[in-house]
Amino acid sequence: MTLPGEDKLEKQTNEDKTDDQDLERKMKKEQKAKLKEEKKLKAAQKAEAAKLQAQKSSDGSKKSERKQRKKDIEEENPEDFIDPATPDGQKKKLSCQMAKQYNPNAVEKSWYSWWEASNFFVADASSSKPPFVIVLPPPNVTGALHIGHGLTAAIQDTIIRWRRMSGYNVLWVPGMDHAGIATQVVVEKKLMRECKLTRHDIGRERFVSEVWKWKNEYGGTILNQERRLGASLDWSRECFTMDDARSKAVTEAFVKLYKEGLIYRDHRLVNWDCSLRTAISDIEVDHEEIKEETFRKVPGYEHEVQFGVLTSFAYPLEGGMGDIVVATTRVETMLGDTAIAVHSKDKRYSHLHGKSAVHPFNGRKLPIICDDILVDPEFGTGAVKITPAHDPNDFEVGKRHNLAFINIFTDEGKINSNGGADFEGMPRFAARVAVIEALKSKGLYRGAQKNEMKLGICSRSNDVVEPMIKPQWFVDCKSMGKLALDAVLSDNNKKIEIIPHQYEQEWKRWLENIRDWCISRQLWWGHRIPAWYVILEDDQLKDVGSYNDHWVVGRNEQEALIEANNLFSGKKFEIVQDPDVLDTWFSSGLFPLSVLGWPDVTPDFKAFYPTSLLETGHDILFFWVARMVMLGMQLGGDVPFRKVYLHPMIRDAHGQKMSKSKGNVIDPLEVINGISLEGLHKRLEASNLDRSELENAKMDQAKDFQNGIPECGADALRFALVSYTAQSDKINLDVLRVIGYRQWCNKLWNAIRFAMMKLGDDYVPPQKLDVKSMPPVCQWILSVLNNAVARTITSFESYKFSDATTAVYSWWQFQLCDVFIEAIKPFFTDSKYESAKEASRHTLWICLDTGLRLLHPFMPFVTEELWQRLPLEEGSSRKESIMISEYPSFIEAWSNEKIENDMDIVNGAVRKLRSLRPQSDKNERYPAFALCRGPDITNIMRTYDFEIVTLASVSSLKVITENDMAPPGCAIDVVDENLSVYLQLQGTLDPEAEREKLRKRREDTQKKHDLLSQEMNSSGYKEKAPLSIQEEQMKKLTAYLEELKIIDQAEQDLERRIHQQMK
């Protein structure tokens, strides 16, 4: 081989012999430089060979590990992997060996009863810790756990556990609602089914006794089911809306509000249920959309009833002036019509102002009135029949014009004597048909047409709601509504924050238009109204309620007698208690007060009122939340809570509302425990679906749950539900997502199993850490853990629970399991990494301890089980349970932004190298190259070459620069404008696959560039955007342009290599 400079030396010698010495020196210098370069190259080759050998050694050790593992498996005792039986209430006994797979049923056993027996849930009214209080929205005593309860429990328990671990004196109060209508219906059906008796057959006293008997035997199942979800409620304070303490509060509230002039009795229009024979609240009315003529079942009717039809008929005008045509969807109510309304400026009827029509069936005169508020002259005939006693709008017209209010229905929904002898006794919808026939016979029928409408249906009985005038007790809500409105919207004295904030505007709209609240119900089960009717000896009418001024109110009969004597001094009388009961929402509205002991000033009331948070669904913002605020401020002297968090409503995976009639209801216990498709079908068959609905529901189940629902456990269900809270006002719940989190639990399980094997039986965690001396990957995982802690806490504090789940999940899944655990595995297979191994063990323990505590509020069961298996610190005074240990906090010393940025680049390179590997040969290790543009990126690649080789599963990594020739036979991908990676594949490249990768990369980068460019060129950008943002975005834009150039070069290189390969 001719060395560089030898030809030059020979020529120089021939030309000038006198310069021999100078040339010899020059030649030696060049030879020395060449030898130095060759030495450097050999050293690099040696290093690469050593790395490859280490990798082979690692592979060899893995083979021996596998052999050893196989031997160990053969010698295993299966009983070592099974948890011993644990007596109820005692701390769970764990198996000496961790099970090889996560089993939610095995993991979630025993922990809850130990937590409860250990009083971990109990709040202390005398504690010096800051209080944090939530009252669980009381579920109905008749209820079974449904997915809405599951969402409520998951969110609230997550908040409660986080606050408890953060040093608060936490109180979460459980309770049950007596559910007046629902419970009465259940027991009435039971009586009819078992004894063929109605409540009227056995009388009020015996019936109420039967309800209490049923409640004590069957009621409250739902609260036990809350335990299955892990809800850490303070069971020592469990209450029931009809227990003695709550009944005392209800009576006191009624008496106080009555004496303050806020409760009164009046004849008003109410929602009447003819099957239940009671007034019902607005929330118990479902509004069914009727798009066209529809026939539907109505309780008590043999045949289906027609709806969605507008019937037109004529009223004769007095004096033979002709007739006037009106239209209605409830033609039977014309029996109670007392007027006809027109618009004052409608010229068609100006000649009829002050005239009257004549009722065709009873001769009653119907004045023709002008009401521009109600009548739209463009709609229909422009004339509107007015039935003040049976329509909300007509009721208001009746008051404005001082019309007669004629009730034509009995409580059972039959026509009464006011409807006329021809129709009296007819059920209302039979009367509908009869009235049409009678109109036809008189030549007054004008036809019918399809009509869209909303039909009010009672959610309890499925009966069609009838607006009826009834004497009822009402709460005057005007002044209390103003207080509640200001509590949320006042600029100077805001007392309540509603989250999400958009509901504050709905709060405003409702409370500015609030109507008085009907609080009496014609039931037997509930809080008996503490009002007595005074029947004077000289009263002409002796029926209860005949005279509205004969009512007295008291806490008991003795107080009522004193009031009656004061009111009717010197007169003879008897008093009779009102048979009605109070609306269930009245006692529910008092719940934050009554659960803490009000009206008595108890230690609990002093310590915990106002409560901290009310968490519930947005559908009862007004029916419950607003009433709690009104009653709390009026009776308790302050708002009942400082914040309101409204969670979305759950729908099925297709966005359909869950309902029993559709058969798409998801039972959370079926998700927790698992159920076969056959089991799902059996549940449908036990429901009240008709044959066609049943078959459709079964088909839908077979599509959605072809193999049933696998056992997911409470932890996975909770995590999924909380993660869904980012979805505006509706959650489309897909059970597949829950299944995904159940599989993730298995990943957590395996992470701990790996840790326990690597830590060893004699491992003792350190009391202090010298983070700066640790390997970069250890410093990195602690820094990103720190970020996850900060993001989780910030998300909790801002009630962005979905963001909190993302922060926790991302750290566990993508940083700890996917990167850190994989990166440190080689440290445990070669003795030369002893120092790194020890640091990795310490870091791993800290990550697991901190990570489990971070995750615990979301997944209480699996985190407790895994945390209990972690080794204890030397001299540790660790808490008995993870749920009372300290929640992680941000640790400044762990933060390392530089290492995070370096590892972002490393992980980017690893992902690209993995993507270059052929799908058919994932186990083969290939040589890799990193083309670096600049000294910084070069330094990063050299510093982290070990981690890249390990994580990308390549045989070696060589750092090259733009001056180096591109390695032959390589697949290429671009990480960013400073870094490209190559993978030297054996055999031939797949040209189309490589072109497609680069094409996608170009497309993605170009899209980002165009979007950013569009933003920066938009109108007002330079004036509005801060200078720092403009500079940052200009850097990004420049980087995208550089990256596009690099992709260009990569495409050219690829085409050149493909061309060479084809030669």
Which pair of structure tokens corresponds to residue 434? 């009869």
Cis peptide before 765 (omega within 30 of 0): no
Which residues are CB-contacts of 565 (< 8 A; sequence separation ≥ 6)?
Answer: none
Identify the residue with better confidence: 83 or 76: 83
Which pair of structure tokens corresponds to residue 1029? 């943002």
Task: Look up residue 620 and give its amino acid.
Answer: I
Express each pLDDT in 90-145 by its tens digit.
999 999 899 999 999 999 999 999 999 999 999 999 999 999 999 999 988 887 77
In this structure, how many other beta carbons lie within 10 angstroms of the beta carbon of residue 711? 17
Mapped onto helix, strand or coil, the DSSP state of residue 49 is helix
On whether the CB atoms of residues 471 and 265 are closer than 8 A, the answer is: yes
Which residues are CB-contacts of 35 (< 8 A; sequence separation ≥ 6)?
Answer: none
Which residues are CB-contacts of 1034 (< 8 A; sequence separation ≥ 6)?
Answer: 1016
Q: What separation in angstroms does the CA of 55 have from each of 62, 131, 519, 588, 728? A: 10, 57, 78, 68, 51
Identify the residue with better confidence: 829 or 552: 552
How much is the average pLDDT of 519-530?
96
Which pair of structure tokens corresponds to residue 675? 């159920």
On whether the CB atoms of residues 379 and 371 are closer than 8 A, the answer is: no
Identify the residue with better confidence: 906 or 1: 906
Residue 18 pLDDT: 43
Long-range contacts of 745-750 (CB under 8 A, 24+ apart): 745/102, 745/104, 745/713, 745/715, 745/716, 745/859, 745/862, 746/101, 746/102, 747/812, 747/813, 747/817, 748/102, 748/812, 748/855, 748/862, 748/866, 749/98, 749/99, 749/101, 749/102, 749/862, 749/866, 750/102
> Nearest-5° angle of CA 651, CA 652, CA 653?
125
In this structure, how many other beta carbons lie within 10 angstroms of the beta carbon of residue 297? 12
On whether the CB atoms of residues 461 and 273 are closer than 8 A, the answer is: yes
Residue with tokens 């709806």: 307
Residue 454 pLDDT: 93
Alpha carbon distance 365, 340 (integer Å) = 10
Q: 710 pLDDT band (50/70/90 cuts)?
A: very high
On whether the CB atoms of residues 360 and 323 are closer than 8 A, the answer is: no
Q: Is the pLDDT of residue 663 over 80?
A: no
Express each pLDDT in 673-686 by its tens digit.
999 999 989 888 87
Which pair of structure tokens corresponds to residue 489? 């919207």
Alpha carbon distance 811, 805 (integer Å) = 10
Which residues are CB-contacts of 216 (< 8 A; sequence separation ≥ 6)?
Answer: none
Residue 6 pLDDT: 37
Residue 4 pLDDT: 37
Q: Which residues pair with residue 239 across a beta bridge?
A: 175
Q: 1019 pLDDT band (50/70/90 cuts)?
A: confident
On whether the CB atoms of residues 949 and 967 are closer than 8 A, the answer is: no
Mapped onto helix, strand or coil, the DSSP state of residue 386 is strand
Q: 688 pLDDT band (50/70/90 cuts)?
A: low
Write the DSSP assignment of 35-51 as a string of letters: HHHHHHHHHHHHHHHHH
Residue 1063 pLDDT: 57
Q: Is the pLDDT of residue 15 over 50?
A: no
Q: What separation in angstroms does the CA of 68 have from each of 64, 74, 78, 221, 788? A: 6, 10, 18, 51, 37
* Out of 287-296, 818-827, 959-968, least confident range: 959-968
Going by C-alpha positions, the residue among 847, 864, 769 that lies closest to residue 808 is 847
Express each pLDDT in 448-459 by its tens digit.
999 999 999 998
Residue 416 pLDDT: 96
Which residues are CB-contacts of 78 (< 8 A; sequence separation ≥ 6)?
Answer: none
Express each pLDDT in 843-894 by its tens digit.
999 999 999 999 999 999 999 999 999 988 766 678 999 999 999 999 999 9
Express each pLDDT in 901-929 by its tens digit.
999 999 999 999 998 887 666 678 999 99
Alpha carbon distance 911, 818 (integer Å) = 11
Task: Look up residue 581 and give its amino acid.
Answer: V
Which pair of structure tokens corresponds to residue 747? 């990943």
Alpha carbon distance 540, 567 (integer Å) = 18
On whether the CB atoms of residues 887 and 132 are closer than 8 A, the answer is: no
* Out of 73-82, 152-161, 543-552, 641-650, least confident range: 73-82
Express each pLDDT in 591-615 by its tens digit.
999 999 999 999 999 999 999 999 9
Mapped onto helix, strand or coil, the DSSP state of residue 505 is helix
Which residues are CB-contacts of 534 (< 8 A; sequence separation ≥ 6)?
Answer: 550, 551, 552, 564, 567, 568, 573, 574, 575
On whether the CB atoms of residues 1021 and 1015 are closer than 8 A, the answer is: yes
* Out of 117-121, 284-288, 644-648, 882-886, least confident range: 284-288
Identify the residue with better confidence: 720 or 915: 720
Q: 41 pLDDT band (50/70/90 cuts)?
A: very low
Alpha carbon distance 133, 501 (integer Å) = 21
Identify the residue with better confidence: 232 or 1015: 232
Mapped onto helix, strand or coil, the DSSP state of residue 673 is helix
Task: Look up residue 334 and give its amino acid.
Answer: M
Alpha carbon distance 504, 465 (integer Å) = 30
Alpha carbon distance 923, 739 (integer Å) = 29
This model's pTM is above 0.85: no
Which pair of structure tokens corresponds to residue 721? 């539900």
Mapped onto helix, strand or coil, the DSSP state of residue 389 is coil
Q: Is the pLDDT of residue 51 over 50?
A: no
Alpha carbon distance 790, 890 (integer Å) = 6
Q: 29 pLDDT band (50/70/90 cuts)?
A: low
Measured on CA atoms in the order 665, 668, 673, 674, is the torsion positive or negative?
A: positive
Q: What separation in angstroms does the CA of 387 have from each of 129, 398, 439, 504, 928? A: 61, 8, 18, 36, 86
Beta strands, E only, 539-661: 551-553, 573-577, 581-582, 611-617, 641-647, 649-651
Strands 305-307 and 309-316: unpaired
Q: Is the pLDDT of residue 26 over 70?
A: no
Task: Look up residue 488 and give its amino acid.
Answer: V
Which pair of structure tokens corresponds to residue 42? 């050999």
Residue with tokens 């297979």: 829
Q: Is the pLDDT of residue 56 over 50?
A: no
Q: 404 pLDDT band (50/70/90 cuts)?
A: very high
Which pair of structure tokens corresponds to residue 215? 């409640």
Measured on CA atoms in the order 804, 807, 811, 814, is the torsion positive or negative?
A: positive
Which pair of structure tokens corresponds to residue 509? 């709209």
Q: Is the pLDDT of residue 246 over 60?
A: yes
